[in-house]
Amino acid sequence: MPITFLELGAQCHYKLYMYDSYGDGWNGAYLEVTMNGSFVGNYECQGSFTLDSVYSTTGATMDFIFHSGSWDSEITFTIVDPLNDTLFSGAAPSDLDNLLHTSTSSCASPTGNCSGVGNVLSTNVTTNSADISWTPGLNDSIWNLRYGISGFALSGVGTQLTNLQNTLVTLNTLQSSTSYDVYVQSVCDSGYVSSWNGPHSFTTGITTGTCGAFTIELYDSYGDGWNGGLIDIIVNGNNLQTITLQQGAGPEQFFISVDSSDVIDLMYTPGSWPEENSYVVYDHTNVVIATQSGSGTSGPPNTMGLTACPLCVNPVNLSASNITPTDALIAWNSASGSMNGIWDIEWGLSGFAIGSGATISNVTTTSYLLTGLSSFTSYDFYVQENCGLNGSSYWSGPFSFATLPVPGTCGMYTLSLSDSWGDGWNGGYLDINVNNIVIQSVTLMNGNGPEFFDFPVDSGDVVSLFYNAGGWPEENSYELFDENNNIIASQSGSNGAGPLSTTGLIGCNSLLSQGNCGLLKVELYDDFCDGWPLYGASMDVIINGVNTQNISLPNGCGPETFLFPVDSGGIVDLEYSTTFQNEHSYKVFDQFGVLLHEKTSSANNGNGPESTYGIQLCDAPSLIVEKEEIFYLPKSSQDILNLESSTPILSTV
């Protein structure tokens, strides 16, 4: 009977990308797979990552069932069909039972009842060998095996072993620290052969250098691999290896054999969606020595100058002191106790990547004065010891510091943050916006506060504070003080919502200094809870005929609270700008918290709340006119005395 060989390059297999974040395997969890109701095998992750495959035939009903283990929270996996379409990708589900799929395999069912092997396993993996075993099919007694570097094509590539009579074979003379794929095929008693079962992947152990091995972990935040992105591993100027994350979220681990004083550079080349990519580097003692992440539309930066087992010890106790708007004294200690050491410094704006900053070499003291800095700016610096023939230490850092601001023409404003529970703002923060530019984002990391932040303001600057909620926002509150230490804004969270934003404060506006009559409070509301700007609504605050601020309710139901210092005799007008908005309203309170006015749209026939004019908290001193005493003796027949005056009569005796 002639032997029928199926096409080697056919797309017959489902791929299983299985991950474990802790790196200790799936702890009893596994994926059970059946084809047309017949058991195919159980599949699980070994270590941190395992790639496996499941053979299928055209139109077969495939069933994937996840069985829970001890630490399902560590588990993620991706199932890809023969056409490379993703069926499932994510964390271990609690309800993945009978994920049925009609196979898109291009392989027809084998004739002659030659279904192929199952449960292909790799065990006893060393630096140069591995045992491969499998479960025989229904009527096979001879097998073929093909293996090669992971990703090899079945057609004409790889090493093939034929006419194997045992279900266990040892592969020798493998390369260390290398990933391999294995396929197994049944030669059935009928003379037919099955399709290849695979790929099944394993990675040989690493042959370590005199310094052991570095570990690189690759991650992808979206979970679809690096999409063509890659890292070139360069050791002592030689390109040793190119690595990438083919599929999934990672981590995928790679090992670098290193000798003492080897210098390692990691050069990143972006593919599509580079901002999703990140990587972590561990030294031979499993200590993190580099972490790089993509951001914006850019991928993770390169990592330069990692030294294996440096004979130098990296500096400790980095600090910055004597900080001015333009200078900072940076300092460190020698961990080796060297009294005659030489150090290199690299510094730049906070967040810069090593290799892209300004460098200062051959510093012979454990401190250095950085000059020519920009005011009100955050900087990072790194320090390493230069040991000459013995190489250089790892970089220590980054250590971050911020230069002081230069007071503006209006001086300095001070922002005070507090938390009623005492655990900080839990991720919430305030953006300090001056003239539509965010100059600083501040938060209360922990405790009750208050924690103070100063920032410069020029006359006429428009200052706004935009609140961004974290956890438990109702605990957060803030106050803003002007250049004279007067409170000009105060907001507190309540009822599950954080403090409202404050917008449109004018720097050094004389009408916004703390008035001697007190603070007028205005609260804005929206019955539909979609804010005022959606309809172009706002309110002009006019004090003594000068438009000092335009206010609005940015979003939500309100109240959005605004405080306005008013001097004696000051007259405040509130002009609402939009009509036909029947959900808007506002309230006005005097300096003692007494409600002066409440204007609603419903009271104005749905045309928006009416404007309010002529609000006066207290009279001007100039209106109090003292006259000479007037003595009046009424006639006994009169019991009423009428007094008239062109100015208010404050008191009579």
CATH of the domain at 251: 2.60.60
| Local structure of 108: helix, strand or coil | coil
Which residues face 86 on adjacent strands?
80
Q: CA 121 to CA 590: how far, in whole Å? A: 80
- End residue of a domain, out of 275, 307, 339: 307
Same-domain check for residues 197 and 273: no
Confidence of residue 6 (pLDDT cuts 50, 70, 90): very low
Q: What is the pLDDT of residue 147?
A: 94
Last residue of a domain, one of 148, 182, 203: 203
CA distance 553 to 574: 15
Mean pLDDT (whole number) for 217-223: 93
Q: Write the CATH number for 46.
A: 2.60.40.10
Distance CA 518, CA 560 (A): 19
What are the C-alpha distances in Å from 484 to residues 455, 487, 563?
A: 14, 9, 16
Residue 282 and residue 232 in contact, taking contact as beta carbons nearer than 8 Å:
no
What does the DSSP 8-state code read for residue 309?
Answer: S
Which residue range is the domain that position 536 belongs to? Answer: 411-615
Q: Are residues 231 and 157 in the same domain?
A: no
pLDDT at 339: 59
pLDDT recorded at residue 338:
60
In the sheet where 411-419 sits, what is the strand order? 451-457, 411-419, 476-481, 487-492
Identify whether 247 is part of a domain. Answer: yes
Decide if 467 is inside a domain: yes
| Domain end point (choices 270, 288, 307) | 307
Do 44 and 183 share a domain, yes or no? yes
Q: In the structure, what pLDDT confidence band is assigned to residue 513 with cuts at 50, 70 and 90?
A: very low
Mean pLDDT taken over the chain: 84
Confidence of residue 1 (pLDDT cuts 50, 70, 90): very low
- The pLDDT score that the predictor gives to residue 240 is 86
In the chain, % of residues over pLDDT 70: 89
Enter the tokens of residue 372.
């020519």
> Are 251 and 334 in a shared domain?
no
What is the predicted pLDDT for the residue at 112?
56
Give the model's pLDDT for residue 652.
54
pLDDT (tens digit per residue) in 347-392:
999 888 888 899 999 999 999 999 999 998 899 999 998 887 777 8
Residue, of 626 and 320, whose pLDDT is higher: 320
Q: State the Cα–Cα distance between residues 250 and 223, nearest whole angstrom.
A: 7
Q: In the chain, count H helices and then E strands.
A: 0, 46
Q: Are 556 and 601 members of one domain?
A: yes
Quote the DSSP letter at residue 208.
-
- Provide the b/e sequence for 52-69 (b: ≥16 CB within 10 Å): bbbbbbeebebbbebbbb
Q: How does residue 630 score in pLDDT terms, banded at 50, 70 and 90?
A: low
CA distance 138 to 588: 87
The mean pLDDT value for 577-606 works out to: 87
Q: What is the pLDDT of residues 285-307, one digit of tens each?
A: 888 888 999 888 889 999 988 88
pLDDT at 516: 63
25 and 82 fall within a common domain? yes
